[in-house]
A and B are shown apart, each in its own frame.
Chain A
Amino acid sequence: MAKTFTFELVSPERLLLSEEVEQVVIPGTEGEMTVMAEHAPVMTGIKPGVITVVRAGSEREQFVVFGGFADITPDGCRLLAESATRVKELDRADLARRIEEVRAEVQGARDHETRTKAEEFLGQLTTLEGALLPA
């Protein structure tokens, strides 16, 4: 049996999850990564995407996050999410509304830099929507 570590998922409004898990797949800004026990200390940004938590006995649970940070140490992983929900509780209308908002931001962007940033975010969100829709 694989070793477990403490995984905490916190959003500003509440502590969503704090328990022993075997592995966690997180969407880092530099690409997806799987965190297991005794991972080297890493701090990474999170882009909008799906987090998969695997508990002992390979029981899975999925969350959607909209950006944030992960603080990974050998004995635990703390994920500070901008906002996070369980996949099954996700409100599709809410996601669509977010996408609309970002789209408006892209249109209204004044300089090149903010536009690129907003476009990138929009791309991430639409990918996320695409990944979730068939579910």
Chain B
Amino acid sequence: MPSLKDLRNRIASVKATQKITKAMQMVAAAKLRRAQEAAEAARPYAERMDAVLANVSASISGADAPPLMAGTGKDDVHLVVVCTADRGLAGSFNSQIARLAREHIRKLQANGRQVKIITVGKKGYDLLRRDFGKLVIDRIELREVKQIGFANADAIAKKVIGLFEAGEFDVCTLIYSRFKSVISQIPTEQQIIPAAVPQAEGESTGAIYEYEPDAGAILADLIPRNIAVQIFRALLENAAGEMGAKMTAMDNATRNAGEMINKLTITYNRQRQAQITKELIEIISGAEAL
């Protein structure tokens, strides 16, 4: 049985922890709002990009398509880009992404494909290192970056495209967490090379475009940019998801701490009462003995 002093100390320490988790929850809430705004602001560009891409690719026949779109024609070496957060304390956020990545890689390996991995975010590397440490060809950490900018995504895209042009892989898949709501983030895999081209919608302008310099050159320029945009979107969704998961996790932690404090306080009061009763009995029985 812990003494009264022990209990007092426990209560004080749990209270301190609760204060920390509460603060972390509030910080995550504020950051979540900012991340959501950033994701929101990036949407128009991606949408317009899709529309333009659909228009241009409709006017280019399969044979003229740049390799980034058509692929290498092979399916032997897969590159998996795993995007996670750089920090933990976000519930199952990182492990869910890692689980999907693991399943995806195992499936590819079972089919006899060669797999290479690039991890974005420290936690992804930490979680995959044990199983696939040798397959990781590069890791990128965005810990220093406060607000993810397009330049970060562009750097990753350049690296991936450079590897593709060097013939290092045939198919590239991006694994990240799609932000559905504050309490729900869905780990998602998305193929970015060969690029899946959005189909032109039925109500598209149907106008015959003139191209400057020409459609092929524009498309060759557009596809790498689109890959950067996809990565950018994944990073932003991840950032929002991380904050959402962190908020939920910290909310739970705060609530658990509250429950614990209640329980400890009740035990503390009972023991104090018991001790008082014991002392009273000692006094009374002492008085009666006289």
A residues touching B (Cβ–Cβ < 8 Å)? 8, 10-15, 28-30, 40-45, 69, 71, 73-74, 78, 80, 82-83
Contact between chains at A12 and B42 (CB < 8 Å): yes
CB atoms of B212 and A42 under 8 A apart: yes
Q: Is the CB of B48 within 8 A of A80?
A: yes
Residue B7 lies at the interface, judged by CB distance under 8 Å to chain A = no
B48 touches A43 (CB 8 A): no
Contact call B48/A8, Cβ cutoff below 8 A: yes
A13 CB contacts on chain B under 8 angstroms: 38, 41-42, 45, 149-150
Count of chain B residues with Cβ under 8 Å from any Cβ of A? 31
Partner of A10, one of B45, B153, B213, B217: B45
- Using an 8 Å CB-CB cutoff, how does the interface string of B38-58 with A read, 1 for contact, 0 for none? 100110110011011001100
CB-CB < 8 A to B75: which residues of A?
none
With A10-B45, A11-B45, A12-B45 as contacts: A80 and B52 at CB distance below 8 Å: yes
| B210 within 8 A of partner (CB) | yes
Asked if A43 contacts B225 (CB within 8 A), the reply is no
Majority secondary structure, A binding face: strand
CB-defined contacts of A29 to chain B, threshold 8 Å: 212-213
Which chain B residue shows the least CB distance to A75? B205
Q: Which residue of A lies closest to B225 (CB)?
A: A82
Bound state CA distance, A8 and B49, in angstroms?
Answer: 13
The minimal Cβ–Cβ distance linking A8 to chain B, given in whole angstroms, is 7
Bound state CA distance, A42 and B225, in angstroms? 19
Inter-chain CA distance A40–B42, complex, in Å, is 28
Contact indicator B52/A71 (Cβ below 8 Å): yes
Contacts of B232 in A (CB 8 A): 12
Task: Decide: A45 and B213 in contact? CB cutoff 8 A.
Answer: yes
Closest chain B CB from A38 CB (angstroms)? 12
19 contacts between A and B (CB under 8 A): A11-B150, A12-B228, A12-B229, A12-B232, A14-B42, A15-B45, A29-B213, A30-B213, A41-B210, A42-B210, A43-B52, A43-B212, A69-B221, A71-B52, A71-B55, A73-B205, A78-B52, A80-B52, A83-B150
